[in-house]
Amino acid sequence: MSIIQHHDEYLTCTMWYVERRNPDSNVEPDMVTRIHYGRNGSRKYTQDQRWPPQ
């Protein structure tokens, strides 16, 4: 599992938890779970079918 940190314009910390279907493969995963941490400590979980933009 790899973790990519990204800070969006709303000053919330978004962590991308990426799980690969085959750990030995270098193919990009087809499901990405985004966990948004708000400044008040709240969390929001969303899922996307595409790899997040760099």
Task: HSE, CB side, 13 Å, CA atoms: give it for residue 20.
Answer: 10
What is the domain range of residue 12?
Answer: 2-48
pLDDT digits (tens, 9 = 90+) for 1-54: 455 555 444 344 444 445 545 555 555 555 666 666 666 767 777 766 555 554
Judge contact between 12 and 39, C-beta under 8 A. Answer: yes
Q: Is residue 53 part of a domain?
A: no
| Beta pairing partners, 8 | none
pTM of the model: 0.30
Residue 16 domain-assigned (yes or no)? yes
Confidence (pLDDT) at 23: 56
Is 54 part of a structural domain of the chain? no
Q: Is residue 27 part of a domain?
A: yes
Helix (H, G, I), strand (E, B) or coil at 32: strand
What pLDDT score does 26 carry?
59
